[in-house]
Structure 1
Amino acid sequence: MAKDLVYLVTGGSGFIGEHIVKFLHKEEYVKEVKIFNMNKGGFIEDLKGGSTTITFIKGNITDYNQVLEAVKNVHVVIHTAALVDYLDERPFEELEAINVGGTENVIKACLASDVPYLLYTSSISAVGPNKNLDPMVGVTEDTIYHGEHLLSYGKTKAWAERLALLANGQQMSNGNKITTCIIRPGSVYGEKGQQFLNQYHSVKYQNNRINYVQPDHAAQNYEYVGNVAWMHVVAARQMQLNPHVLGGQVYYSYDDTPVKLLKDLHREFFTELDPDIQIGSQIPYWKMWLIIMIYNSIRLILKPFWKLKPFITLPILKLLNVAFYCDTDKAFRHFGYKPYYSWVESKQRTCQWLKQASEDLRKAKKNS
C-alpha cells in the first residue's frame, strides 16, 4: 500500500474542503496536503505539527497556469472548489467560468502533470430537481431523471460532471491512464455552515418560531459535513487500491441523518439550544411568491444606489416545494464506506458549534 502521498484539495479552505483536509492530516499514508484556495482558512494554523505537512497555495481555479503549478508532484487531487449559488444570484457566466472552466483546468493540469487520481465533488443539483418540479424520491445512481435543471448552479455542476467522467481512462503525458470518480453531496450541515447559523438567528428574531414554506410531501436529503468529507477520503484511497471499481463512477453521499422537512431538521437542532423554540406557521406558496415579487421590485429600484441581497428567490421557493432525496448504499458496496459519525454525534457536534458561534457573535456585537 503506497505511503508518503501528496494530496491537493482545491477549495480546501471551504466548507467541505476544510473537513477533508482535517481528515487527511490524520492519515499516516499522507505526507503532505496542499490546499489550493483564494483565501487561507484560519484552521490551517491549528494543523501545524505531526507527520503530515499542510501547504497553502493561494490561487484562482480559473487560472490554468496557477492550477498547473499547484498539481506538480501530487498523487491525488480532490477537486471541491466551486461557486455555490442556490439563490441564482450570480451571473451564469461566472458560474460557468468557475464550475466548468475550473474543472477543465484541473483535468487538463492532471493529465499534463501525470496526476493519476482525480476525485470530483459534485452535487445532487447536478441531477435535479428540474423545472417541471418532478419529484426525485428514493433515487439511486442508476435512476434516470430528465428535464431542464431548475438551478443554474445545477446546470454547471452537471456539465462539470460530464467532463470528469469523460476524463476517466484518458492517457496522461507519461502514457499511463487517469482514474476519476464523482461524489454528489445533498444538503450539507455542520460546523461552519453559515446558512445554518443564519437560519437559527432568523428563528430567534421571529420570537422563537420556525415559520416554513415546505408542504408535507417535500422531504429532502441532509448529510453531516464530517461524513461527506470522510466519504471523500475513503473514496480517494480506494481509487488507488481499486481503480477498476471506482473509475468512472458516481456516488451520492449519505449518512444516518433522517430524511426530513427542513423545518423539522431545524427543530431537531435549534431546540437543543433553546427549548422554547417551536414550529410556527406555514406560509402559503402564493403569499411567499408575492413577497418575492415585491422584494425583487424594490431591489430593482434600489439597484443603482444599494445592492440588496435576496433572502429567497423563485427557484428556491420552487425547490422547497419538491421532494428530492436519494436511497442508496452504492458507496458501501463499492468501497466499504460507512459514516464516520452517527446521527447523534453529528447533531451533537453541530449544536456545540452553533452554540459557540452564536455566543461569539453576541460578544462581538456587544463589544462593537
Structure 2
Amino acid sequence: MEPPQDGDPQGRVLVVTGGCGFLGSHLVRLLLEREPELRELRVLDLNPDPAVVPPEHGTKNVIRGCRAGGVPVLIYTSSMEVVGPNTRGDPFLRGDEDTPYPVRHSEPYPLSKAQAERLVLEANGATVAGGGRLVTVSLRPTGIYGERHPLLQRLYRGGRALGGWLPRTLPPHAEHGRVYVGNVAWMHILAARAARLRPQAVGGECFFCYDASPLAAYEDFNQLLLGPAGLRLIGRSPPPRPLLELLAWLGVAVGRVLPGHAPLLNPYTLAVGSTPFSVRTRKAERSFGYQPLFPWERARERTLEWLRGLGSNQ
C-alpha cells in the first residue's frame, strides 16, 4: 500500500502488510535497497489466525482502510492457485492471463484467495479520502522458493533426519513453474511504480509472476536446491496412485487427531503436485517492464547458502 504523501515531495511512504513473513521480509529488504524515492517504510504483521479472520475479511478491511486513509495504490499478493490446478487435474502449460481454463475450487486457500483478489480488482477506481482514485493490482506468483521458505526448510530438516534421503511421492512428469522470492518482491515494486505513474495501464489488472527458474516436476525442482545441500531423492517413480491417495487421507486424519500438525501430503497437495501447471509473464513485461532481478544461478546460490546455514546450525 502507498499512503498519501502528506505534502512531502521528497519521498514516498509505503506500507507492507505481513512484512515479517517469508515474502514480506524480502519485499521490505528490497524496498530499502531498490526504491530511491522511499521516505518512510511502515511494516505491519498482525499474523491473524485464518480460521478466525478469513483472508477475504482481512482484504475488505484493507480496502476500507485505503479508502478512508486516502491511499492511492494497493498491490495485492494473490496466487496462481486462484486459477488452478483445478480439482480435475487439468494441465495448464505455459499459459497466460487469457488462457482458458476451467477453474474449480474445493479447498479453503485457493477459494479465499480468489474471493480476495476479486474484491481488490473490483475496488480499482474507488474514491478515496481527499478525492483521489484507488489503483489496485493483483500479482499471482507461481510456487515461490528462496531463503526462509517454510516448506523448503521443513523438507531439508526432514531429509537430514532421514539420513540425507527424501522419498519421491509425486509424478516426475508434471511440469511446474517456480519463482524466486526476490523476483516476486521485485515485481511488487515495479507494479507499484506503474500504478502510480501509469494507472490506466495496470489498474484493475492481474499478472502472473514467474522468472527464468527451470520448469520441472515439483520434487525434481526441489532437488536442484536440496541436492547440492546434501539430500538425495529416492526412486525414479512414486508409489502407486491408490497408495498415495490412501496416505494423503491418512495425513488428513492425523492432522485432525493432532491439532497443529500439518502433513506435507494431503489430497490437495497431491493434486497440485501431480498436475502440470506453468505460466508466462509477458503481460507484466509489456505493462510495466518486468524482468527478473535475480537470474536463476543467483537465486539458486542464495537459496543454497541459506540451506547450508540451516545444516551448520543443527
Matched with 2:13 is 6
200-209 or 224-233: bigger deviation: 200-209
Partner of 1:273, secondary structure, is coil
Structure 1: tracts of 5 or more residues without a match: 40-59, 61-82, 84-89, 363-368
Q: Does 1:16 align with 2:23?
A: yes
Cα RMSD (Å): 2.0
Superposition pairs of residues 218-367 of structure 1, within 5 angstroms: 218-274=174-230, 277-281=232-236, 282-297=238-253, 302=257, 308-360=261-313, 362=314
**Using a 3 Å threshold, how does the CA distance of structure 1 residues 172 and 19 change in structure 2: closer, same or farther?**
same
Q: How far off is 1:307 after superposition?
A: 5.7
Paired residue type of 1:12: G
Structure 2 residue corresponding to 1:31, chosen from 15, 35, 39 = 39
Q: How far off is 1:230 after superposition?
A: 0.8
* Alpha-carbon distance in 2 for matches of 1:264, 1:336: 30
1:265-299, Cα deviation, whole Å (9 max, x unpaired): 1221122122x734435222211222234454455
Conservation of the 8 A alpha-carbon contact between 1:289 and 1:314: yes
- Name segments (4+ residues, structure 1) moved above 6 Å: none
Conservation of the 8 A alpha-carbon contact between 2:249 and 2:266: no
**Using a 3 Å threshold, how does the CA distance of structure 1 residues 308 and 114 change in structure 2: closer, same or farther?**
closer
* Alpha-carbon distance in 1 for matches of 2:273, 2:254: 23
Conservation of the 8 A alpha-carbon contact between 2:136 and 2:203: yes
Conservation of the 8 A alpha-carbon contact between 1:167 and 1:180: yes
Structure 2: tracts of 5 or more residues without a match: 1-8
* Alpha-carbon distance in 2 for matches of 1:336, 1:307: 42
* Alpha-carbon distance in 2 for matches of 1:317, 1:192: 23
Q: How far off is 1:23 after superposition?
A: 1.2
**Using a 3 Å threshold, how does the CA distance of structure 1 residues 162 and 320 change in structure 2: closer, same or farther?**
same
Paired residue type of 2:22: F
Q: Does 1:208 align with 2:161?
A: no
Q: How many residues align?
A: 304
| TM-score, normalization by structure 2 | 0.90
Which is bigger in relative contact order (C-alpha 8 A, separation at least 6)?
Answer: 2
* Alpha-carbon distance in 2 for matches of 1:12, 1:293: 34
Q: How far off is 1:134 after superposition?
A: 1.4
**Using a 3 Å threshold, how does the CA distance of structure 1 residues 292 and 215 change in structure 2: closer, same or farther?**
closer
| TM-score, normalization by structure 1 | 0.77
Q: How far off is 1:262 after superposition?
A: 1.7
Matched with 1:67 is none
Q: How far off is 1:120 after superposition?
A: 0.6
